[in-house]
């Protein structure tokens, strides 16, 4: 549905990428060099992906070692009211650079807000959970005084940055996605 657009230079590529990023529900742009080849080994020489994303500040809840020495995934948390809630695991990081309790700057592609109404009584609140799609730790150095991101602010910024997704699970067992 999206036409291929040849660009002759960086300025053309920038303009095309910005235009494609503004299309409703766009995830960004995959730019390919003329003559690049898609192969089954996963090597994408001459390809670059420009993704729509946003950032937040998270607290490291846990360091999860991988089978590769010196590499870990970080379980990340943000604030819901005054309570830390998990939002998922980062991609691989060098484990010696991070510790439990540390604040980190994280880039993500989608902020997912799930509202589960199943089992909810008439006067109770639904269960809420939050997760990040493709969280990448950008830096272990967070400016002194930086606060952990909270869900209320994140929902607002994710809507503004067009990376918010809400999933409602109703008592009727149906799911509704709102982007």
* pLDDT value at 46 more than 90: no
CA quadruple 142, 143, 149, 153: dihedral sign: negative
Q: Which residues of 45-54 are buried (b: 16+ CB within 10 A; e: fewer)?
A: eeeeebbbbb
Percent residues over pLDDT 70 in the chain: 93
Q: What is the pTM of this model?
A: 0.77
What pLDDT, on the 0 to 100 scale, is given for residue 152?
94
Q: Look up the CATH number of domain 54-178.
A: 2.40.50
Domain ranges of the chain: 10-51, 54-178
CA distances from 118 to 42, 80, 168, 175 (A): 41, 20, 10, 11
Question: Count of CB atoms within 10 A of residue 98's CB?
Answer: 17
* pLDDT value at 174 more than 90: no
pLDDT tens digits for range 62-120: 999 999 999 999 999 999 999 999 999 998 998 888 989 999 999 999 999 999 888 77
* pLDDT value at 148 more than 80: yes
pLDDT tens digits for range 3-21: 788 888 989 988 988 888 8
What pLDDT, on the 0 to 100 scale, is given for residue 74?
95
């Amino acid at each position: 549905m999206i036409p291929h657009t040849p660009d002759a230079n960086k300025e053309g590529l920038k303009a095309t990428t910005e235009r494609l990023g503004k299309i409703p529900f766009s995830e960004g742009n995959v730019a390919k060099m003329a003559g690049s080849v898609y192969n089954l080994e996963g090597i994408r020489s001459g390809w670059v992906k420009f993704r729509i994303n946003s950032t937040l500040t998270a607290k490291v809840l846990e360091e999860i070692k991988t089978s590769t020495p010196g590499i870990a995934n970080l379980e990340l948390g943000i604030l819901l009211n005054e309570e830390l809630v998990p939002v998922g695991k980062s991609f691989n990081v060098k484990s010696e650079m991070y510790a439990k309790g540390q604040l980190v700057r994280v880039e993500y592609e989608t902020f997912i807000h799930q509202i589960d109404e199943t089992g909810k009584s008439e006067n109770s609140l639904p269960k809420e959970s939050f997760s990040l799609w493709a969280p990448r730790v950008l830096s272990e150095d967070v400016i002194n005084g930086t606060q952990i991101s909270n869900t209320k602010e994140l929902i607002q910024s994710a809507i503004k940055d067009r990376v918010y997704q809400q999933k409602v699970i109703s008592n009727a067992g149906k799911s509704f996605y709102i982007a």
